[in-house]
Chains A and B, each alone.
Chain A
Amino acid sequence: MTSKIEQKLRSVARELLEQGKVGTIVGYEAGSLKFTNTPLITKDKEAADRLVINPFIINNLSVFLKDIGGKVGVVAKGCDIRSIVSLIQDKQLARENVVIIGVPCAGIIDLDKIEKLMGKDRDELDDIVRENDKVIVTVQRSKKEYPAKDVLIDSCLACDQPKIKEYDILLDEEATVVCDDEASRSLIKKLEAMPPAQRWEFWKSQFERCIRCYACRQVCPACYCKRCFVEETEPAWISPLPKWQDNLIFQVTRMMHVAGRCTDCGACERACPVGIPLHSLSKKMAEIVQELFEYQAGTDKDALPLMAAYESKEAEDLIR
């Protein structure tokens, strides 16, 4: 069944393509697995009818924008819009070349969390619906209710910018997110309480599992360098072999390179095939940036990027 918001999106997308206001539409269509979606990138107005909006539109589609070229209409949630704004701030994207189709988002449902709570595979579930602060899962006509904050993805729980500020078309009225910053930073809190040596051991054990697939980098809208330092050969900054030391250096350097541009969208953590808790790095970085420089990534398209801006007096206590 097509929802009202989907109908609106489809007609908006069709119109944009028909009138030549955009050359390409980037959105979501139903994926091959139950409940999941897959990006739809199309120039064909007929394909607009395949566009979907549901509580599982997890991908941050802004990652595709730079490579498409021309005018692009993109379906974007609040957090994705922050990534777009950040790209505009970095002059990687011109504002007039994107038509932002804003989707008010009440938080994305984490299918892994649902599977764990239900003890069932997603294929065995009949329906999952969001109703205000609850999520209702139906299996063979019996319903189970969960508080939304138990089943939303971690980066949604940390969302503090649900209000969409930058858009061209807004598909619906504002949605209310259920946030739980404490829950979203529970691992950070645990780590902060540890002595440094223990923290190091924790991260070491995580990066021993990293296979250097670079999926985290590929899905990241802030990682837009044409040539990443890991692929430099003269000098070779880090060994290409997946040794934990180099895996850790790769990720730490990546995080520092995206500081002030990373919106903690959570795409890297979700892409990681070995489950390294990258959100606990990206969120911590966002907290550091906020604390030191009162800066939030992607919230003001006219602001100078974090690393290009400065105040004459700041962080002086860290320098001799």
Chain B
Amino acid sequence: MTQEPNFEPKILGFLCRWCSYAGADLAGTSRKKYPANIRIIKIPCSGRIDPLLIIRALRNGFDGVLVSGCHPGDCHYQTGNYRARRRIAITKKFLEYMGIEPERLQASWVSASEGGKFAEVVAEITADLKKLGPNRLFNDK
């Protein structure tokens, strides 16, 4: 990947409405600073995530995807995040085998009270993706 001096990665975040979405809200209301690189989609539970949503975001030009849900044991539907975890783990490994850097798919557990952690996660993955460079994988015709 060629380095671009002012490259700002575009990140798509799928956030569980009960925890990480509220955590992102809290980050805002408590005036935590985090990079504006993330665009957020609210999902009913991290268990909603389908590998298709992830790979489609990459296909449509996002440089990275973040899936974030309630901590293990805290899912409002009991097991949604456990199932999401299996799917995410498999997707990450399989995309790597296809040649998509595993850093492009990120996952985190962020509760509604962890505004600070949300800000940190976004800052970290933005930095990771800056290093990695733009996702041009699907670009050429």
Contact = CB atoms under 8 A, between A and B. Distances in A.
Given A253-B51, A319-B85, A289 B90 contact: yes
A125 to B, nearest CB: 37
Contacts of B101: 196
A310 B98 contact: no
B92 A229 contact: no
Contacts, number: 106
A307 interface: yes
B137 A200 contact: yes
Given A307-B83, A320-B106, A320-B124, A253 B52 contact: yes
A200 B86 contact: no
B122 to A, nearest CB: 10
B88 A196 contact: no
Given A196-B101, A200-B100, A284-B97, A310 B85 contact: yes
B56 A315 contact: no
Contact of B98 (A238, A245, A252): A252
Given A197-B99, A307-B86, A320 B108 contact: yes
Contacts of A224: none
A320 B109 contact: yes
B11 to A, nearest CB: 13
Interface residues of A, number: 43
A307 B88 CA distance: 11
Interface in B104-134: 106-109, 121, 124
B79 interface: yes
Interface in A266-320: 284-285, 288-289, 291-293, 306-308, 310-316, 318-320
Contact of B56 (A197, A237, A312, A318): A237
B42 interface: no
Interface string B62-104: 0000000000110000010011011111111111111111000
A199 interface: yes
A245 B59 contact: yes
Q: Is the interface of B mostly helix, strand, loop or mixed?
A: helix
Interface in B8-58: 51-52, 55-56
Interface in A229-285: 229, 237-238, 245-246, 248-249, 252-253, 255-257, 259, 284-285
Given A253-B51, A318-B89, A199 B83 contact: no
Contacts of A229: 52
Contacts of B108: 319-320
A312 B51 contact: no
Interface of A: 191-192, 196-203, 229, 237-238, 245-246, 248-249, 252-253, 255-257, 259, 284-285, 288-289, 291-293, 306-308, 310-316, 318-320
11 contacts: A196-B101, A199-B99, A200-B137, A203-B99, A249-B52, A256-B51, A256-B87, A256-B91, A257-B51, A293-B86, A312-B72
Interface of B: 1, 51-52, 55-56, 59, 72-73, 79, 82-83, 85-101, 106-109, 121, 124, 137-138
Given A259-B94, A307-B87, 8 more contacts: A191-B97, A238-B59, A285-B90, A291-B93, A293-B86, A311-B82, A312-B82, A319-B88
